[in-house]
Amino acid sequence: MYNFQSDYLEGCAPLILEELIKANTKQSVGYGEDEYCAKAASLIKDTIDNPNADVHFVPGGTPCNILAVSSALKPYEAVIAAESGHIAVHETGAIEATGHKVITTEGVEGKINPLEVIRVVEEHTDEHMVKPRMVFISNPSEYGTIYSLEELKLLRKICDKYGLYLYMDGARLGSALASKDNDVSFKDLGELCDIFYIGGTKNGALLGEAIVINNDDLKENFRFMIKQRGQMLAKGRILGITFKTLFKNNLYIELAKHANKTADALRYVFDAYNVKQYVETSTNQVFVILDNKVVERLKKNYLFTPWGKYDENKTICRFVTSWCTKEEAILEFAQNLKEALR
């Protein structure tokens, strides 16, 4: 049974394990104040070309979202997201549990619609309503689509005009930046986002994400927030070692390129058999429309995610590749798909 359900079903990049082993017999101070975390932060600041950024490491993606939102917003302030945004759907109300409303808006293939952001801000006029204060985007989005540089610049302009923070959830950021259609650089993120995170878990780490804070107003006492929300690992070094490894010699992007490449192969396979994509993507998530019968047949040998009903006879299905998806696996899947389509 091969599993295309997600990119977190795998182990980690071997180099990370090697570095963990190397460091294993050494003592180092706790709670993320070790030399590895310092080195990793330094590499990330170089990569985004923002020496003034603050970088913090936490175990997962929901923690990043909890921390970014709840440390930036006052109790009556809210975050705007596309209705498919991870914080709006798949985090069990983690944002609301910190007291903040998530205002959902109709998105475009998973991405936020800038006009909707403006509409929301303009509709929230007084103290009987929450005050929109942050725009949440995920890049790539939950539908695998990516933001162009122009789109990000437009959102930045809107945020500046309306006094909003721009926050990017980068759970699969590598895959976005490594996409053949991408024109956004790490450096752009160092400039355009107030705060964003670089996802490790879904791109070759065992665990760990790096929160990057560009906006000075959001930096103060962030470690208090990390500790309070239970996101400060005592052996913080494992996150430092992980990100130090990922950001040396471009490993982070290399791993993502592999994931995208195998996703490209998968897209090619689907195209070859006239299986239509539900959303056209160039990252490691592939959304296709499959006959229910085909779904049933494929299920015998494969795990993948039924994303929703397309119509009575068809289902939208998600297939995800990873940093270590083997090309043989794609070839074998092609064979299976062919038979299932018969």
**Which residues are registered as beta bridge partners of 105?**
82
Judged by CB under 8 A, the chain residues 147 through 186 that form the site for a second copy are: none
Q: Does 9 contact a second copy by CB under 8 A? A: yes
Q: In this structure, are residues 23 and 39 in contact, taking their beta carbons and an 8 Å threshold?
A: no
Chain position carrying tokens 């162009």: 148
User: Cα separation of 159 and 80, whole Å?
Assistant: 11
* Contact string (CB under 8 A) for a second copy, positions 212-231, x = contact: ---------x-xxxxxxxxx
Considering the complex, state which of residue 9 and residue 115 has its C-beta at the smaller distance from a second copy. 9
Judged by CB under 8 A, the chain residues 65 through 104 that form the site for a second copy are: 65-66, 70-71, 74-76, 78, 89-94, 96-102, 104
Considering the complex, state which of residue 91 and residue 191 has its C-beta at the smaller distance from a second copy. 91
Smallest distance from the beta carbon of 8 to a second copy, in angstroms?
4
Q: Does 201 contact a second copy by CB under 8 A? A: yes
Question: In this chain, which of 45, 56, 63, 210 binds a second copy, going by CB under 8 A?
Answer: 63
Chain position carrying tokens 């795990």: 303
Smallest distance from the beta carbon of 17 to a second copy, in angstroms?
6
Q: What single-letter DSSP state applies at residue 46?
A: H
The Cα-based distances of 199 to 119, 175, 252 in angstroms read 30, 10, 10
User: Cα separation of 174 and 257, whole Å?
Assistant: 8
Considering the complex, state which of residue 106 and residue 296 has its C-beta at the smaller distance from a second copy. 106
Judged by CB under 8 A, the chain residues 116 through 145 that form the site for a second copy are: 127-131
Residue 221 zone, left/alpha/beta (φ > 0; ψ -120 to 50; rest): left
Q: Does 15 contact a second copy by CB under 8 A? A: no
Q: Does 254 contact a second copy by CB under 8 A? A: no
Q: Which two tokens stand for residue 329?
A: 């696996």
How many CA atoms, within 13 angstroms, populate the side-chain half-sphere of residue 207? Answer: 13
Question: In this chain, which of 41, 45, 53, 59 binds a second copy, going by CB under 8 A?
Answer: 59
Smallest distance from the beta carbon of 130 to a second copy, in angstroms?
4
